[in-house]
Amino acid sequence: MDLKSKVLEFIDANQEELKNISDYIFDNPELAFEEYKAVEILTEKLKENGFTIEKGIAGLPTAFKAEYRGEPGGPVVALLAEYDALPEIGHACGHNLIATISVGAAIAISKVLSPLPGTLVVLGTPAEEGGGGKVIMVEKGCFTDVDCAMIIHPADQTMVDDISLANTNLVFTYHGKAAHAAAFPEKGINALDAAILTFNNINALRGHLKDDVRIHGIITKGGVATNIVTELAEAKFSVRALKRKELEPVVEKVCQCAKAAALATGAGLEIKTEGLDYDEIMNNKVLTSLLRENYLQLGEFVGERTIEQGLGSTDMGNVTQVVPGFQSYIGIGKDLVTHTLEFAQSCKGPAGYQGLITATKALAMTVLDLLVNPDLLKEAKEEFRKTKEE
């Protein structure tokens, strides 16, 4: 029996355990940087199967590294686990499946790794939903010794390619001067007017931006009473584009819109960024080609990722900017939309379970391809280098 057949047999024999892990994480949703229960069950399962565990890496209590070594030398392949949930609607992005797919694939590969040179790493990456765990882990050097990194995300259909938007979050704070709005309006400076004018300026800017640019904002502070000229106002904006290099000039233009509003009203202005910047995804074509072939061998139909399907942002983009890698997809229900209750329901149900097992198999097969034939990784690194130079 060849190595892939042994791995597939192991995954089939352990389907119920994988479902139980996924269900446990689903039934115990934890928000960004609070995923202690998820980390505990995942690391315990990995430890039971011979992985060495290091918790709290990159200064993040709910980040971890699990490692299993084959023969000396060979590639270091990382599988990434996400496990944070969304407020109120829980695992409506399917991170319970993502974590279990990576951990399940890693455990399956460990059963056949001993004759092969190489190291298998599972990186537990907290706070994808806005906290940017992977961004921090990239900055702290967690991917320095990794040759490639991979993750599979549930979606409405199976796809190996991905497109995401680079993202920067801005906070504009406007300082005005309070006054009685009826008796002495001329003595006041209205900070809320500056915030509203910023929105108007940005709306005028939209007609001169590329179609892929997204700017969306809210007013988080807008005054305390109608008869007081607003002294303090605050607005937050998320600015996105297909490429980081294209996003940066847009961010500058948005800041100019805020500065113009402050100048027009006489308000003071503070500008700062909030959270961490997410870079665009840069899937490696050599690696996704391997995954595609393995999906097809399993009888899985592979669709195409397009801009028309709608784009978001992910901290996996930052990972693919420093090592060859991919974020790919497993279908768990036609026409499903992430971050909805309907999507969450599918993440703990027959379609979700089927996707879990299929993706675990395909990911494990892809890792084996790289371990058995290290030249494939050389090709992936060359493709990565050329793409970065474009």
Q: What tokens does 77 get?
A: 């392949």
Going by C-alpha positions, the residue among 129, 88, 90, 124 that lies closest to residue 106 is 124
Rounded Cα gap, residues 140 and 390, in angstroms? 26
pTM for the full model? 0.91
Average pLDDT of the segment spanning 346-370 = 97
Mean pLDDT over residues 69-85, rounded? 95
Percent of the chain residues past pLDDT 70, beyond the cut: 100
Residue 122 token pair: 């599972």
Residue 306 has what pLDDT? 86
Buried b (16+ CB within 10 A) or exposed e, 330-339: bbbbeebebe
Q: Dihedral angle at the C-alpha atoms of 246, 250, 251, 255, nearest 10 degrees?
A: 160
- pLDDT above 90 (res 309): no
pLDDT tens by residue, 221-272: 999 999 999 999 999 999 999 999 999 999 999 999 999 999 999 999 999 9
CB 217 within 8 A of CB 238: yes
Length of the chain: 390
pLDDT number for residue 1: 58
Question: Which CATH code fits 166-273?
Answer: 3.30.70.360
Torsion angle, CA of 40/42/48/51, rounded to 10 degrees?
Answer: -110
Q: Are 330 and 358 in contact (CB under 8 A)?
A: yes
| Centroid of chain to Cα 302 | 21
Measured CA distances, 83 to 37, 38, 46, 215, 352 (Å): 10, 7, 15, 28, 15
| CA dist list (Å): 212 to 166, 198, 266, 382 | 11, 21, 33, 28
Candidates 151, 125, 132; CA nearest to 318 is 132
At 347 the pLDDT is 97
The correct answer on CATH 3.40.50.720 for the domain covering 3-164+279-389 is no
Helix (H) and strand (E) counts in the chain: 12, 10
Domain-wise residue ranges, the chain: 3-164+279-389, 166-273
